[in-house]
């Protein structure tokens, strides 16, 4: 296959959209949900994760994820991108320039780690977060990306993940849950958003960026890319409306935050299935996303008592796992070469999806536990009680988000 100019234009645009999802969209979304005294720290956690993960992606992350034929991990043939010329075609997508494929996948690696930050805001040492970002990307994200997308054992065995339900959302969600449990609760664990308008802007930018995240995962400008983007939007608005309605019924108020959260839950849940389902599947996934993620955020979190500050596990982790399993039900042959249970595929695809969710889940939990324990020994995980009370903006960065003039 020759390099196709139109495909490269499309994936270049998609790459920019996924970068937009991290900086500024995710940073603004998380920052708006954080208490005002730690708003800047939250923004910095997202930005610095993007920086350090992008660097190690160039150094060895891409090579470990997308080279070699090992079942568990790649090799270091592309260490610091050695031997790659800008005009070379990408081995995994010969229609694209190799640099562009690396760039596109780099944004996925970076946002996956940045997503976890939402569970740790208002109480985690900045130095500890940087070290966690490096270790977690190295020992969790890169191997799992290889297993699913880089020719590893799960992808070769039949597990499907179009744009990151397992690789991005399950791993970051479970990593967030484990980290939140090890960090412990904040002194004041009540969510006090600094700015809901910022959350609204972040939601809109994330939704916009998701066209690149899911649509771009087709790796070409084709019908699958258009379908993936279309069903992504359908699942998002369905989930947003259903979540808001659930809140309206339960709490007697249709909150804007509930609407925004539902939209993100729909986006996360449709992600692994977006390239394999039609409009009917997208509607069903949107409804399921709202129902199940709402249960996880409102009931499960309170029942288990963990302090996942911004509900990374309840929205991204639960949504990613749910969407991965629903792919095994709703994958439609006319959309792509996959057949779910509801379209005559029997339990074959569903069993592959279950294996992927369970295997990656166990691996992520165990490795995240080890990584946090190691970082706790090296730097400590939490700021002091006085620093937490003062707020991390001033105690860590020596800055304030808003300065009042009298």
CATH number of the domain bearing residue 259: 1.10.3430.10
Q: How many separate domains does the chain show?
A: 1
Q: Which of 247, 265, 268 is nearest to 256 (CA)?
A: 247
| Percentage of the residues of the chain whose pLDDT score is greater than 70 | 99
Find out whether 119 and 127 touch, Cβ atoms under 8 Å: no
Residue 382 has pLDDT above 60, yes or no: yes
Residue 405 counted as domain residue: no
Strand (E) or helix (H) holding 57: none
pLDDT category at 237 given cuts 50, 70, 90 is: very high
Specify the pLDDT at position 1.
79
The dihedral formed by the CA atoms of 34, 40, 42 and 46, expressed in degrees to the nearest 10 = 140
Query: Residue 180's CB: how many other CB atoms inside 10 A?
Result: 24
Whether the predicted pLDDT of 102 surpasses 70? yes
Q: What angle do CA 36, 136, 181 make, to 5 degrees?
A: 55
What is the per-residue burial (b if ≥16 Cβ within 10 Å, else e) of 267-305? Answer: bbbbbbbbbbbbeebbbbbbbbbbbbbbebbbeebeeee
Q: Classify residue 28 as exposed, middle or buried by CB count within 10 Å of its CB (0-12, 13-18, 19+).
A: buried
pLDDT at 258 over 80: yes
Mean pLDDT in residue range 352-361 = 98
**What pLDDT, in 10s, does the model give residues 286-323?**
999 999 999 999 999 999 999 999 999 999 999 999 99
Answer yes or no: is 389 within a domain: yes
Predicted pLDDT at 131: 98
Yes or no: say if 343 and 281 are a contact pair by the CB < 8 Å rule: no
Q: Give the integer Cα–Cα distance in Å for 265 and 19.
A: 20
Residue in the structure block whose two tokens are 């706790």: 376
Residue 404 lies in a domain: no
What is the value of pTM for the model shown?
0.97
What is the per-residue pLDDT for 136? 98
pLDDT value at 386 more than 50: yes
Answer yes or no: is 181 within a domain: yes
The predicted model gives 9-38 an average pLDDT of 97
C-beta atoms surrounding 27 within 10 Å: 24
- How much is the average pLDDT of 274-279? 98
- The H or E element containing residue 97 is strand 93-97
Alpha-carbon distance of 376 to 6, in angstroms, equals: 48
pLDDT given at position 305: 93
pLDDT tens-digit readout, 117-131: 999 999 999 999 999
- Structural domain includes residue 111: yes
What is the C-alpha to C-alpha distance for residues 356 and 293, in angstroms, rounded to an integer?
20
pLDDT at residue 80, rounded to an integer: 98
Q: What is the torsion angle, in degrees rounded to the nearest 10, for the CA atoms of residue 330, residue 316, residue 217 and residue 278?
A: 20
Report residue 405's pLDDT band, with 50, 70 and 90 as the boundaries.
Answer: very low
Pairing between strand 93-97 and 89-90? antiparallel
Owner of token pair 């003062």: 390
pLDDT averaged over every residue in the chain:
97
Domain housing 31: 5-397
Could you tell me which residues come within 8 angstroms of residue 319 by beta carbon, excluding any fewer than 6 positions away? 165, 169, 173, 265, 266, 268, 269, 271, 289, 292, 293
165, 360 contact by CB (below 8 A): no
Q: Enumerate the β-bridge partners of residue 382.
A: 124
395 CB-side CA count, 13 A: 19
Residue 403 — very low, low, confident or very high, per pLDDT cuts 50/70/90? Answer: confident
Does a structural domain hold residue 161? yes
Q: What is the mean pLDDT of residues 65-83?
A: 96
**What does the CA dihedral 37, 40, 44, 45 come to, rounded to 10 degrees?**
30
Tokens found for residue 77:
């043939």
- Residues 142 and 376: their CA atoms lie apart, in Å, by 22
Instruction: Assess if residue 344 is contained within a domain.
Output: yes
**Contact call for residues 112 and 364 (beta carbons, < 8 A):** no
Burial of residue 386, with CB atoms counted within 10 A of its CB: 0-12 exposed, 13-18 middle, 19 or more buried:
exposed
Confirm whether 251 is domain-assigned. yes
Give residues with Cβ within 8 angstroms of 19, minimum separation 6: 107
* pLDDT computed for residue 194 by the predictor: 96
């Amino acid at each position: 296959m020759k390099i196709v100019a139109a495909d490269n234009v499309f994936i270049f645009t998609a790459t920019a959209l996924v970068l937009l999802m991290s900086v500024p969209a995710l940073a603004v979304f998380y920052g708006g949900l954080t208490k005002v005294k730690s708003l800047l720290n939250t923004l910095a956690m997202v930005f610095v994760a993007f920086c350090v993960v992008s660097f190690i992606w160039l150094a060895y992350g891409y090579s470990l994820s997308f080279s070699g034929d090992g079942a568990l991990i790649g090799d270091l043939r592309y260490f610091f991108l050695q031997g790659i010329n800008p005009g070379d075609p990408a081995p995994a997508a010969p229609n694209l320039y190799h640099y562009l494929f690396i760039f596109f996948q780099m944004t996925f690696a970076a946002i996956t780690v940045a997503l976890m930050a939402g569970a740790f805001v208002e109480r985690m040492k900045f130095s500890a977060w940087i070290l966690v970002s490096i270790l977690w990307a190295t020992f969790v994200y890169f191997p799992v990306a290889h297993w699913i997308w880089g020719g590893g054992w799960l992808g070769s065995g039949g597990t499907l993940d179009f744009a990151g339900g397992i690789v991005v959302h399950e791993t970051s969600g479970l990593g967030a849950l484990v980290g939140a449990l090890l960090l412990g609760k904040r002194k004041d664990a009540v969510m006090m958003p600094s700015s809901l308008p910022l959350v609204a802007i972040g939601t809109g930018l994330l939704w916009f960026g998701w066209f690149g995240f899911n649509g771009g995962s087709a790796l070409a400008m084709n019908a699958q890319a258009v379908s993936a983007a279309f069903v992504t939007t359908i699942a998002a608005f369905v989930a947003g409306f259903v979540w808001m309605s659930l809140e309206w019924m339960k709490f007697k108020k249709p909150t804007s935050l509930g609407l925004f959260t539902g939209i993100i839950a729909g986006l996360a849940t449709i992600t692994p299935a977006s390239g394999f389902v039609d409009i009917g599947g997208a509607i069903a996934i949107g409804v399921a996303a709202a129902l199940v993620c709402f249960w996880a955020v409102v009931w499960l979190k309170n029942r288990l008592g963990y302090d996942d500050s911004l509900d990374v596990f309840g929205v991204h982790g639960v949504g990613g796992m749910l969407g991965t399993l629903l792919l095994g039900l709703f994958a439609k042959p006319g959309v792509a070469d996959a057949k779910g249970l509801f379209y005559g595929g029997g339990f074959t695809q569903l069993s592959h999806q279950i294996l992927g969710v369970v295997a990656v889940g166990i691996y992520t939990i165990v490795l995240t536990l080890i990584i946090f324990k190691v970082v706790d020994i090296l730097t400590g995980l939490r700021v002091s009680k006085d620093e937490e009370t003062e707020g991390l903006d001033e105690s860590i960065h020596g800055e304030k988000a808003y300065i009042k003039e009298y």
